[in-house]
C-alpha cells in the first residue's frame, strides 16, 4: 500500500492505497495500546528461564515490541495513555501537513523581478511561482531570487514546525525520555544523542580547513566569472562546485552515457553479484494484471545452491504522475512460516530513467548508474535477509544502518575493475577508457568537503530541534547560529530553510544516519573489498555478518562481525575524511 499510494498510474488505486495505509496505521496504533497484549509480553520478558530458551532474534523482536508499547505510553495511567494516543495522532497529521508545505511554491508579484529573468519561473496571472532553488542555473540573479523567494518564511508552515517539535518533545517526556532525540535513537548504532553530537562535532573539526579551501576555490571561480559580485553565498555552492568539476575534469555526462546502457549496467550488476555472492538475476514473464504498468520488469533472484531467494520488480522508467525519486519498497517481507517453509521477499525498485528511443537504448548518466547500484544494494539487503520474523526483515533495521548496504554499492560503482566489466559503448562495443573513470572519481572529491560540511550542518540542526525543550531561541535564530558555526556561508535574512527540510518528518533526530552509514560503508569497502572487489570469501562474510540479519541483530554487532573490531567515533570520522583526500597520482598517470 505504501508503494501503490505514490506510484500507481491509476488515481483510484492511489486513493484506495492511501485509505489502506490509514486503516493499517490506526489498527497498529490500537495494538500498541492493547494492555492485555502488553502484559502478556511483559510476563514473557520477566521470565528468565523462558527468555534464556529463546534464540537471540526472537529475544530482540520481543524487546522491540516492548519498545513500541512503551513509546505508545502503555505503562501510563488511562488518562496519560489517552493523551499519548492523541499526541501520536496529532503528530501524524502535523507531519503530513508539514511535508506538503515543504514542496509548495511561493508566489511573488512579477514586477518585483527584473524582466530578463522572469521567464525562468512559472507565470500565474500577475504573479510568478517559485517552486525550487534553481541551483544549477548559470544566472546568479536567478539563483539568488529563487533562494530568497522559495525560502521566504511562511507563517503557517512555521507554526506547524513549532507545534510538531513541541508535540514530539511532549510525547517523549510523557513516555519517560528527556528529549525526542533520546527516544528516537534507542536501538540505533549511535544509541544516544550525545554520541551523535560527538560524531558531528569531531567530523566538523576535521572538515573545517578543507571546507575553507573548497569555498576559496569556489570564490575564485565566481570572481573569474562575475568579478562585480564575487562574495560566495549559499545559492552559489551547488552551482560553482559543479562548474569547477566540469572545468577541471571535463566530465560532461554526454561523454559517459553511451557506455552506460541500462542493459550493460544490469549485466554488470549480475556479474558482480554472481562473483561476490553466487547470485544471478533472471527476467521472468509476468502474468496478466500482475504489474501496474507494461514497462515493469520482474527479476527472479536465484542462488547457485539455494535456488530462488525472492523477486525484484523493476519500475525503472519515467511516466506521467510518477514521482521523481529513486527508492526501494518492501512489498512482502521474508519470514519463516508456521509450516517451516520460508516466505520469499518481494520488493520494488523505483527509478526515473528515460525510455529507449528508436536510435538508442536507455542510456544512464554516471549519476543514474550510481543510483541504480545504490538501490540494488537495498534490494540485496531485502533478498538476502533470512530473519524469522517480518518485523525485522531486510531493510527493517535501525536508520543509521539501513543505508550501509546501498552506500557500499556506490563504492563498487566507482571502482574501475568493476566498471570495466560492463561499461561498453552501445554502438561500437568499445570499453570505457580507464582515464575517464579516474576523472569521474576524482571529480567527485572536488568540493566534497564543503558538500559534507553542509550535511553536518543539517544533521546538527536536526539534533538541536529534537533536543532539550523549550528551545532557547526561535527555529530561525537556531538555523542562523548553526549555519554560521557548522557551515560557514552566511545566513540570508528573511529566509527559513528549515521550513523546506522535509527530512524532519521521516528522519526526525536521525538525519546524521546518512553520514554514519557512509562511514561504515567506507570502512567495510577499504577493509574487505578495496583489494579485490570480487573476493567471494569476503562476499560470503558480508552476507553472513551483515545482510542476513536484517534488523534482527544489534547493528553495532553486525559491524563488529564484519570488521572484526568495534569501531569508535574517531574511526567513523577518519573513514569519512580519508575518502576526501585527493588521489591525483593515479589521475595524472592515467591522463
- Residue 234 burial (10 A CB sphere; 0-12, 13-18, 19+): buried
d(CA 395, CA 385): 8
d(CA 98, CA 159): 10
Give the containing element (helix H, strand E) for 281: strand 279-284
Residue 234: closest CA among 510, 554, 497, 564 = 497
Computed from CA positions of residues 363, 367, 369, 372, in that sequence, does the dihedral angle turn out positive or negative? negative
- Residue 209 burial (10 A CB sphere; 0-12, 13-18, 19+): exposed
User: Rounded to 5 degrees, what are φ and ψ at 281?
Assistant: -110, 125
Report the chain's C-alpha Rg in angstroms. Answer: 25
Give the containing element (helix H, strand E) for 302: strand 297-303
375 catalytic? Reply is yes
Query: Half-sphere exposure of 13 toward its Cβ, with a 13 Å CA cutoff?
Result: 12
Task: Give the list of residues 6+ apart from residue 297 with CB closer than 8 angstroms, or none.
Answer: 283, 313, 314, 316
Query: What is the Cα 85 distance to its own chain's centre?
Result: 29
Residue 243: closest CA among 369, 353, 139 = 139
Catalytic choice (375, 410, 442, 554) = 375
> For 61-187, where are the E strands, in sequence order?
106-109, 122-124, 127-130
C-alpha cell at 568: 569508535
CB-based burial, 53-62: b 16+ in 10 Å, e otherwise? eeeebebbbb
Please give the DSSP secondary-structure letter assigned to residue 258.
Answer: G
- The answer to whether residues 326 and 317 touch, using CB atoms and an 8 Å cutoff, is no
- Residue 565 burial (10 A CB sphere; 0-12, 13-18, 19+): exposed
Q: Which pairs from 483-491 meet CB under 8 Å and 24+ separation?
A: 483/457, 486/200, 486/204, 486/453, 486/456, 486/457, 486/460, 486/461, 487/453, 487/454, 487/456, 487/457, 488/208, 488/211, 488/212, 488/215, 488/453, 489/215, 489/232, 489/233, 489/234, 489/237, 490/233, 490/234
- Residues assigned a catalytic role: 375
Amino acid at each position: 500500500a505504501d508503494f501503490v499510494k505514490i506510484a500507481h498510474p491509476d488515481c483510484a488505486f492511489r486513493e484506495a492505497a492511501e485509505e489502506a495505509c490509514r486503516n493499517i496505521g490506526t489498527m497498529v496504533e490500537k495494538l500498541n495500546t492493547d494492555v492485555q497484549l502488553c502484559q502478556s509480553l511483559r510476563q514473557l520478558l520477566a521470565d528468565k528461564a523462558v527468555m534464556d530458551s529463546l534464540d537471540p532474534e526472537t529475544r530482540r523482536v520481543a524487546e522491540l515490541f516492548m519498545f513500541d508499547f512503551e513509546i505508545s505510553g502503555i505503562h501510563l495511567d488511562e488518562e496519560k495513555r489517552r493523551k499519548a494516543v492523541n499526541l501520536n495522532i496529532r503528530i501524524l497529521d502535523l507531519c503530513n501537513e508539514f511535508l506538503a508545505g515543504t514542496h509548495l511554491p511561493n508566489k511573488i508579484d512579477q514586477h518585483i523581478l527584473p524582466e530578463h529573468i522572469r521567464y525562468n519561473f512559472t507565470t500565474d496571472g500577475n504573479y510568478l511561482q517559485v517552486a525550487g532553488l534553481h541551483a544549477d542555473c548559470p544566472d546568479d540573479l536567478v539563483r539568488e531570487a529563487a533562494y530568497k523567494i522559495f525560502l521566504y518564511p511562511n507563517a503557517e508552515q512555521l507554526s506547524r514546525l513549532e507545534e510538531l517539535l513541541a508535540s514530539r518533545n511532549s510525547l517523549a517526556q510523557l513516555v519517560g525520555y528527556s528529549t525526542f532525540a533520546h527516544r528516537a535513537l534507542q536501538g540505533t548504532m549511535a544509541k544516544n544523542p550525545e554520541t551523535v553530537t560527538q560524531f558531528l562535532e569531531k567530523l566538523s573539526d576535521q572538515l573545517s580547513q578543507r571546507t575553507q579551501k573548497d569555498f576559496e576555490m569556489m570564490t575564485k571561480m565566481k570572481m573569474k566569472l562575475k568579478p562585480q559580485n564575487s562574495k560566495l553565498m549559499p545559492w552559489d555552492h551547488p552551482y560553482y562546485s559543479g562548474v569547477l568539476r566540469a572545468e577541471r575534469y571535463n566530465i560532461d555526462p554526454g561523454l559517459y552515457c553511451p557506455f552506460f546502457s541500462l542493459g550493460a549496467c544490469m549485466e554488470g550488476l549480475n556479474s558482480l553479484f554472481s562473483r561476490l555472492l553466487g547470485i544471478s538475476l533472471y527476467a521472468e514473464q509476468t502474468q496478466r494484471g500482475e504489474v501496474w504498468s507494461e514497462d515493469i520488469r520482474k527479476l527472479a533472484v536465484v542462488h547457485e545452491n539455494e535456488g530462488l531467494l525472492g523477486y525484484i520488480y523493476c519500475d525503472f522508467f519515467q511516466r506521467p504522475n510518477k514521482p521523481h525519486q529513486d527508492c526501494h519498497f518492501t512489498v512482502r517481507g521474508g519470514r519463516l512460516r508456521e509450516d517451516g517453509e520460508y516466505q520469499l521477499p518481494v520488493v520494488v525498485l523505483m527509478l526515473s530513467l528515460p525510455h529507449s528511443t528508436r536510435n538508442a537504448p536507455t542510456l544512464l548518466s554516471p549519476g543514474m548508474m550510481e543510483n541504480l547500484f545504490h538501490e540494488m544494494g537495498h534490494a540485496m539487503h531485502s533478498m538476502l535477509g533470512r530473519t524469522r520474523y517480518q518485523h525485522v526483515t531486510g531493510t527493517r533495521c535501525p536508520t543509521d544502518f539501513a543505508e550501509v548496504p546501498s552506500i557500499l554499492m556506490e563504492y563498487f560503482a566507482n571502482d574501475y575493475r568493476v566498471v570495466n566489466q560492463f561499461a561498453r559503448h552501445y554502438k561500437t562495443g568499445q570499453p570505457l577508457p580507464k582515464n575517464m573513470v579516474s576523472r569521474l572519481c576524482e571529480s567527485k572529491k572536488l568540493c566534497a568537503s564543503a558538500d559534507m560540511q553542509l550535511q553536518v550542518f543539517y544533521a546538527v540542526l536536526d539534533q538541536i530541534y529534537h533536543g532539550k525543550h523549550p528551545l532557547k531561541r526561535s527555529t530561525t535564530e537556531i538555523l542562523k547560529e548553526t549555519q554560521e558555526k557548522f557551515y560557514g556561508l552566511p545566513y540570508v535574512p528573511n529566509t527559513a530553510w528549515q521550513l523546506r527540510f522535509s527530512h524532519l518528518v521521516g528522519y526526525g533526530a536521525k538525519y546524521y544516519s546518512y553520514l554514519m552509514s557512509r562511514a561504515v560503508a567506507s570502512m567495510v569497502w577499504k577493509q574487505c573489498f578495496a583489494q579485490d572487489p570480487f573476493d567471494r570469501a569476503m562476499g560470503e562474510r558480508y552476507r553472513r555478518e551483515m545482510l542476513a540479519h536484517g534488523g534482527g541483530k544489534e547493528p553495532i554487532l553486525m559491524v563488529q562481525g564484519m570488521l572484526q573490531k568495534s569501531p569508535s567515533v574517531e574511526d567513523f570520522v577518519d573513514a569519512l575524511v580519508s575518502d576526501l583526500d585527493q588521489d591525483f597520482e593515479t589521475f595524472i598517470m592515467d591522463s
